[in-house]
Amino acid sequence: MDYFDTILTAARNKDNATIEKLLIKGHDIDPIRGLNLTPAGQLAKEKDWNTAHWLMTNYQANPNKIVYGAILGGTSEYELQQLGETKICKEATEIFEKCDIHFKLTLLWQAKARTTNDKIERYSYLPAKMRLYAIQGAAYANNQELLEYLLTKEHKEYDETHRLEAIKFAAFGGHQLIVNKMTQTLKDFDHALMGIGAGRQFELLKNLKTVKSYYFPSMYMTKSAIFHEHYEFCLTLLKNHYTTQSSLILYTASAACLFNKQYTFLNHLLAKHADQDWSMELYVAVDDFVTDSEKLLNFVCEIDSPSVVTKFLDFFAQERSVNTTIKSDISAIKKQYQDIHDLKQTYCLNTKQAMVLYDDPSLKTMLLDKEINVDNLVKLLQEKDLDLNRWQLKGLVLKLRKNQPRAELINKLTEYTQMNLFFRYGHHQRRATSLLEEITQMKSGKKLKQTVIEQLVFFNSEKPSGHHEAPKKHLRPMKNKGIKDEFYIALKSFPN
């Protein structure tokens, strides 16, 4: 079950615990399925106003998207108003009243055009912007009669953008007949590919009419797929040689910069191909985006690999076109990145949470004070106007408190590995270094406890344990196990 279905099921059951757990982990209350449909919108589509209103009131589900779903379910905006006025369903009217004017002039028409409830004449006098959204909805829903009317109706504001959007959204919906009928030029083809990427439309891709003498450009399709988070689709494209690994990393980094939500996939790609230097691709991706040192820091802090960041920043500093002010800040950015990265690794935080702690180190002492109730602490933090919503703040507090023993262990092992010890302790120090590298990558508290217990067994077991050929030093047989130094004390003090 994906996040959309998890939230939908939890909402139907009024399961606060499941929803709060997802939000604390950083998930969105409004994940999108298809074209602009959210879990709350799905509930409104089914006319479950009470539950949709509950999601909006308690978890800030977007009212615009709720009404969008209601329109798809056949409820008109007039009916939404009437439901409240006649006291049949005040929740529906309250949701509608919270919609902003921009929505009512744009996406509302996209949703309406996805249905066949309105007479075509209602679309006669739409201004260009509303007409554009109506064209998108009609094309996505394969509403061919309305689409033809919107595209051929004579009016002053018509432009080529309308036709290209029709191609893109018809491809998004997987409608081969419309796409092949309308695709005539290279630009048409590019828009068809964008829609195919957005909708993961493999079948349409196989049957897409090609343009004569046109080389298949996967850039448009891949970028669109990345934007819509269809990562498996991208990897399948890669296997089929529609793009190169280099361009996939470039497009993903570009999407990460522009939309700030594709870093998970970018880190996956960088880790999978860690033996290669991707500094050039990252530079090309961020060149237009990074206009000051703060934006550069924000970008690199999302990357999990310090070695990738170091290479990239060195490459970045050597480029002639880079602003001299940014170049002079590179050393400071490296230091800031390392400090923020350490916070992320030590406490299992996301980037935004780690940056909040980095900007105000005094917060950590207050957050770790277990005398203060978590919910009361979140209220105090909200007054500080931090760049986190209440669920992210609660997640920050819970993660810090849960991972405090982990942080203490990491700090003790780090100090131990940096000590200048007598040679007899060298084996323990190398072992601790290997263990430290392992546990800083662990996200599971259960696995960390098990790893510490296993390491203590090496100290305490009378029989030899471990394998001489083990790839990691902390898994090999222990020498000088009778020496119970700071390494042993650090392990022993970890709560099991």
Range of the domain at 357: 348-401
Contact 168, 195 (CB under 8 A): yes
Q: How far apart are CA 80 and CA 69, in angstroms?
A: 12
CA-only gyration radius of the chain, Å: 28
Question: CA nearest 48: which of 82, 19, 87, 75?
Answer: 75
Q: How far apart are CA 342 and CA 355, in angstroms?
A: 11
* Token pair for 141: 């829903």
> Any residues with CB less than 8 A from the CB of 327 and at least 6 apart, and which?
317
Q: What is the pLDDT of residue 347?
A: 93
CA atoms within 13 A on the CB side of 271: 10
Spatial contact of 477 and 464, defined as CB atoms under 8 Å apart: yes
Whether residue 127 lies inside any domain: the answer is no
Residue 242: the pLDDT is: 53
**Per-residue model confidence (pLDDT) at position 213:** 43
Answer yes or no: do 395 and 410 share one domain: no
Q: Are residues 391 and 422 in the same domain?
A: no
Binning pLDDT at 50, 70 and 90, where does residue 153 land?
low
Predicted TM-score of the model (pTM):
0.82
Answer yes or no: is 186 within a domain: no
Answer whether residue 412 is part of any domain.
yes
Q: Give the pLDDT mean for 53-79.
A: 90
CB 186 within 8 A of CB 214: yes
Indicate the SS3 state at residue 37.
Answer: strand
- Residue partners of 303: CB distance under 8 A and separation at least 6: 263, 266, 267, 270, 309, 312
Residue 14 lies in a domain: yes
For residue 93, what is the domain's CATH number?
1.25.40
Q: Are residues 13 and 45 in the same domain?
A: yes
Does residue 294 fall inside a structural domain? no
Q: Within this chain, do residues 87 and 16 fall inside the same structural domain, yes or no?
A: yes
Q: What pLDDT is attached to residue 87?
A: 53
- Indicate if 10 and 95 belong to the same structural domain: yes
Least confident of 161-170, 189-198, 200-209: 200-209
If one compares 138 and 89, the residue with the highest pLDDT of the two is 138
Q: Do residues 15 and 95 both lie within one domain?
A: yes
Residue 450 and residue 371 share a domain: no
Question: For the residues 201-221, what does the mean pLDDT come to?
Answer: 68
pLDDT of residue 355: 93
DSSP label at residue 494: S
29 and 71 belong to one structural domain: yes
Do 95 and 49 touch, CB atoms closer than 8 A? Answer: yes
Residue at which a domain ends, from 366, 401, 436: 401
Residue finishing a domain among 99, 118, 148 = 99
- Determine contact, residues 226/251, Cβ cutoff 8 Å: yes
**DSSP secondary structure of 56-96:** HHHH---HHHHHHHHHHTT--HHHHHHHHHTTS-HHHHHHH
Mean pLDDT of the chain: 86
Does 367 fall in a domain? Answer: yes
**pLDDT at residue 345 above 70?**
yes
User: For position 215, what pLDDT does the model report?
Assistant: 47
**Residue-wise DSSP of 204-223:** HHHHPPPPTT----HHHHHH
Residue 33 carries which DSSP code? B
Q: Would you state the pLDDT for residue 235?
A: 83
Q: What angle do CA 243, 351, 307 make, to 5 degrees?
A: 60
How many domains, in total, are found in the chain? Answer: 3
CA angle 258–442–430, rounded 5-degree value: 120
Is residue 391 one of the residues assigned to a domain?
yes
Helix, strand, or coil here: 467? coil
Q: Are residues 479 and 413 in the same domain?
A: yes
Beta-carbon count within 10 A of 123 CB: 20
Q: Which of 99, 133, 164 is the last residue in one of the domains?
A: 99
What pLDDT score does 99 carry?
87
* Type of residue found at 299: F
Cα distance between residue 102 and residue 107, in whole Å = 8
Instruction: Check whether 233 has a pLDDT greater than 70.
Output: yes
Angle between helices 160-173 and 186-199 (to 10 degrees): 40
What local confidence, expressed as pLDDT, does residue 186 receive? 81
- Whether the CB-CB separation of 54 and 10 falls below 8 Å is answered with no
In a domain, 463, yes or no: yes
159 token code pair: 């432009």
Q: What pLDDT digit, counting tens, does each position of 242-253 carry?
A: 557 788 888 888
Angle at Cα 415 formed by Cα 412 and Cα 420, nearest 5°?
Answer: 140
User: Model confidence over 356-366: pLDDT tens digits?
Assistant: 999 998 889 88
Structure tokens at 291: 């206009």
pLDDT over 50 (residue 305): yes
**Section 430-457 average pLDDT:** 90
Q: What is the DSSP string of 371-402?
A: TS-HHHHHHHHHTTT-SS-HHHHHHHHHHHHH
Question: What would the DSSP string read from start to end of 234-246?
Answer: HHHHHHTTSS-HH
Which segments of 141-286 does DSSP mark as H helices, in order? Answer: 144-152, 160-173, 176-182, 186-199, 202-207, 218-227, 231-239, 245-259, 263-272, 279-286
For residues 432 and 361, membership in a common domain is answered with no
DSSP-derived secondary structure letter, 327: H
- 112: which DSSP letter? H
Residues 415 and 366 in one domain: no
* Token pair belonging to 487: 């390494």
* CA separation for the pair 63, 51 (Å, rounded): 13
